Structure 1
Amino acid sequence: MSSTVEAVVSLVGGAKRIVVFTGAGISAESGIPTFRDPLTGIWARQDPEKLETANAFREDAALVWGWYLWRRAQVAQAVPNAAHQAIAQLTWTRDVTVITQNIDDLHERAGAVDVIHLHGSLEQPKCFACHRTPTAFSFEEPIASEDMRIEPPRCPRCRGKLRPGVVWFGEELPAVAWKKAVLATKNCDVLLSIGTSGVVFPAAEIPTMALRAGAYVVHINPVQVVQPSCRELCLVGRATEIVPALVFLMRPSTGAQVERPVP
């Protein structure tokens, strides 16, 4: 076992409060394309950045709704991978908060509870007009239709068009989710940053926020992550291999409780 792995096992094993911060990379290992992957099939000629805006919905709501139904169908066909499952296992026995930038439900399907979705969820549409979230809404079976345009359903309150309950370009993060994420981050001892690119703001501020509060940050990524702080470590490799191994090595709990450096 390398010295870096040993250090991470000791840190995480001894931490009182842990934050797991995940990005597109963890879901990519379940077959869900990242935002930078080229689109395929009927959507190959579309630009995601032009579909992920309020203006796009105003101009062609059926096109945007069809795009999200296609994405939801992709998620429905995916299954939680070994990293999702290991994180869920960690939440069952430790004080762990899961914060994700992903709009899929793979963490929940793996068994994690109270997951904070910074960018919303494909499972929770809301009204484009009155902004309410329907209390009794259920999607029909996910479809991967060759018809790109599908008219969105209507809001049961105001009859406005329902839109995906995700954060589009130019929109602010959900206030409640962001507040909960900041509170958990500022109070954690160790933050595991898994499969994140670090370029989508303000979510990308989470690891820096943890460092400023005195926590240790462990990056788990397929490529080396720059570590400007002495309290940052990096494990290079696939999340589906590294995360389960860490959780396994922490049974039983190893190391003493983390001592937070004095600012």
Structure 2
Amino acid sequence: MKKKLVVLTGAGISAESGIKTFRDSDGLWEGHNVMDVATLEGWHKNPGMVLDFYNQRRQQLKTVQPNAAHRILAELEADFEVQIITQNVDNLHEKAGSTRVLHLHGELLKVRSTQNEGYVLEWEEDLNFGDCDDMGHQLRPHIVWFGEQVPALDLAVQMTQEADYFAVIGTSLQVYPAASLIDFTAPEIPIFYIDPKPIQLAMGRKKIEIIAKIASEGTQIMSERLKLI
């Protein structure tokens, strides 16, 4: 039976594919204040701007491709049961070939009803005013905005608890509740933390290897390490 490798990924893994992050740019995401485009308050204040912002992100997604880090994680499925838990809303893990991907913060290529969270549709084109669910309620981006509940969190915790190996790639570990997942790992399992600017972690008895590299380089190093364990 294959060992379980659970991987938490963040914006840093997609940055190498050309998708900008807001972590190092004073809260700006593609030139917008995240509070204007990634909160329910921003949606109520200016829904037109929010729709336009995500329409642009959706179109941008069609122009980018997975990078080496995404591909290495997909290739690791040959030797491990790989479960990706991602904070990213892009589909680059899937495009690279990963078959088990849990999106904590939603997906750009889906929309949902403003009145029924369970009403979710695949959506690859622009979302406009007048695009409604079957009850006539406006559709919105299927994105978990700041301040909203993270529906997939309990499942992510369960996956983390069952991991034989755990990796953190390209996330600052400062966005909660996703950042708390590492606390649910079993104390004896190997943990890899890949980030060019890793923060200081106080992990007690946990075995953690910090790889201070960009995602593609660090993921290659992790892959080689895993083959030796």
Same fold (TM over 0.5): yes
Contact 2:119–2:133, Cα closer than 8 Å, also in 1: no
19-28 or 72-81, which deviates more: 72-81
- In the alignment, the residues of structure 1 paired with residue 59 and residue 98 of structure 2 have an alpha-carbon distance, to the nearest angstrom, of 21
Report the counterpart of residue 242 of structure 1 in structure 2. 218
Deviations 1:158-191 (CA, angstroms, capped at 9, x unpaired) = 11111110101110101xx222211110111211
Structure 2: gaps of 5 or more residues? none
Higher strand share: 2
Is 1:167 the counterpart of 2:179 in the alignment?
Answer: no
Report the counterpart of residue 51 of structure 1 in structure 2. 37
Shift of 1:226: 2.0
Shift of 1:37: 5.1
Which one of the candidate residues 167, 177, 183 is aligned to 1:202?
177
TM-score (normalizing by structure 1): 0.77
Task: Please give the secondary structure, in 1, of the residue aligned with 2:107.
Answer: coil
Task: Please give the secondary structure, in 2, of the residue aligned with 1:36.
Answer: coil
With over 3 angstroms needed to count, the CA separation of the structure-2 counterparts of 1:159 and 1:192, relative to structure 1, is same
Report the counterpart of residue 7 of structure 1 in structure 2. none
Contact 1:61–1:151, Cα closer than 8 Å, also in 2: no
Is 1:19 the counterpart of 2:36 in the alignment?
Answer: no
Shift of 1:133: 2.5
Task: Please give the secondary structure, in 1, of the residue aligned with 2:211.
Answer: strand
**Percent identity at matched positions?**
34
Shift of 1:36: 2.9
- In the alignment, the residues of structure 1 paired with residue 224 and residue 141 of structure 2 have an alpha-carbon distance, to the nearest angstrom, of 37
Is 1:77 the counterpart of 2:63 in the alignment?
Answer: yes
Shift of 1:66: 0.4
Larger Rg: 1
TM-score (normalizing by structure 2): 0.88
Report the counterpart of residue 119 of structure 1 in structure 2. 105
With over 3 angstroms needed to count, the CA separation of the structure-2 counterparts of 1:249 and 1:47, relative to structure 1, is closer
Contact 2:167–2:194, Cα closer than 8 Å, also in 1: yes
Report the counterpart of residue 185 of structure 1 in structure 2. 160
215-224 or 183-192, which deviates more: 215-224
Deviations 1:188-241 (CA, angstroms, capped at 9, x unpaired) = 121111011011000000112215x54332101102442433511101111112
Segments ≥4 residues shifted beyond 4 Å: 37-40
Is 1:156 the counterpart of 2:154 in the alignment?
Answer: no
Report the counterpart of residue 193 of structure 2 in structure 1. 219
Deviations 1:90-141 (CA, angstroms, capped at 9, x unpaired) = 1233112111111110000000012011111111110112334345x5433x
Aligned length, in residue pairs: 224
Deviations 1:227-259 (CA, angstroms, capped at 9, x unpaired) = 433511101111112213443565xx433xxxx
Structure 1: gaps of 5 or more residues? 1-14, 143-149, 256-263
Is 1:105 the counterpart of 2:91 in the alignment?
Answer: yes
Report the counterpart of residue 254 of structure 1 in structure 2. 228
